[in-house]
Chains A and B, each alone.
Chain A
Amino acid sequence: DIQMTQSPSTLSASVGDRVTITCRASQSISKWVAWYQQRPGKAPNLLISHASTLESGVPSRFSGSGSGTEFTLTINSLQADDSATYHCHQYSSYPFSFGGGTKVEIK
């Protein structure tokens, strides 16, 4: 089974900061990674698929990169509305799996 190790588990940053979240896969998964944003009490919302393809309607300050075993989600110019938990997800092979999540807090 493929394990997704996400870091950090929490981070605190100021409005306008650049934030980077990392996911490492236990084996190579090409670019079969998606990123989700989840606000409290809500279902996850897709931000990025195929490691770097931005979902329609998602602000351009969000970007994804990586391939193989290391992947990053970057938020350029953090906004107050970005306070949420972010999850990476691998869909390379069954059983699919998620990272542990990163809670982003605004200072």
Chain B
Amino acid sequence: QVQLVQSGAEVKPPGASVKLSCQAFGYTFTNYYVHWVRQAPGQGLEWMGIINPGGSSTGYAPKFQGRVSMTKDTSTSTVYMEMRSLTSEDTAIYYCARDQLRGNSWPDPWGQGTLVTVSA
């Protein structure tokens, strides 16, 4: 079945970068866009952006533009999300989720999430 498997928890100091992975199983990787969404402790969901694994196009929420990069590796069916200049406000669970079509529908299913902790 369709499954997204994310990389393990990360602990980073302020100012560092982090690169998370999301590996897809059970479908043709290049046919479906992938979203990234994060959730700070006790907070709601925040949409970060989207990547087209079948090409190279990306779209980012204005808040993350310039600080986040989404990339892909079709040989391993993996998408990546790199965030730079981390602060304590970036402490959150980061989810990847597959789109239903080509970036114009809802994210589902979701990966299990990756906890990123930013702390000195």
**B-side interface size class:** 20 to 34
Min CB–CB distance A55 → chain B (angstroms): 8
A97/B47 in contact, CB under 8 A = yes
**Which residues on B sit within 8 Å (CB–CB) of A96?**
35, 47, 50, 61
A89, CB-defined interface residue at 8 Å = yes
A98/B45 in contact, CB under 8 A = yes
**Which residues on A sit within 8 Å (CB–CB) of B45?**
36, 44, 87, 89, 98, 101
B105/A91 in contact, CB under 8 A = yes
**A-side interface size class:** 20 to 34
B106, CB-defined interface residue at 8 Å = yes
Min CB–CB distance B65 → chain A (angstroms): 9
B53, CB-defined interface residue at 8 Å = no
Min CB–CB distance A32 → chain B (angstroms): 8
B104, CB-defined interface residue at 8 Å = yes
Min CB–CB distance B44 → chain A (angstroms): 4
B110/A44 in contact, CB under 8 A = yes
A98/B110 in contact, CB under 8 A = no
A34, closest chain B residue (CB): B106
**Which residues on A sit within 8 Å (CB–CB) of B113?**
43
**Which residues on B sit within 8 Å (CB–CB) of A45?**
110
**Which residues on A sit within 8 Å (CB–CB) of B95?**
43-44
Out of A36, A55, A98, name the residue touching B47 (CB < 8 Å): A98
**Which residues on B sit within 8 Å (CB–CB) of A49?**
100, 105-106, 108
Q: What mask results when residues 66 to 96 of chain B are scored 1 for a CB within 8 Å of chain A, else 0?
A: 0000000000000000000000000000010
B10, CB-defined interface residue at 8 Å = no
Q: With A97-B47, A100-B44 given, is the CB distance from A1 to B110 under 8 Å?
A: no
Binding site for A on B (CB under 8 A): 35, 37, 44-47, 49-50, 59-62, 95, 97, 100, 104-113
Beyond contacts A43-B111, A95-B61: 13 other A-B pairs, Cβ-Cβ < 8 A, are A34-B108, A49-B108, A89-B106, A91-B105, A91-B106, A94-B50, A95-B60, A96-B35, A96-B50, A97-B47, A98-B44, A99-B44, A101-B44
Leading 3 A-B pairs by shortest Cβ distance: A34-B106, A95-B61, A43-B110
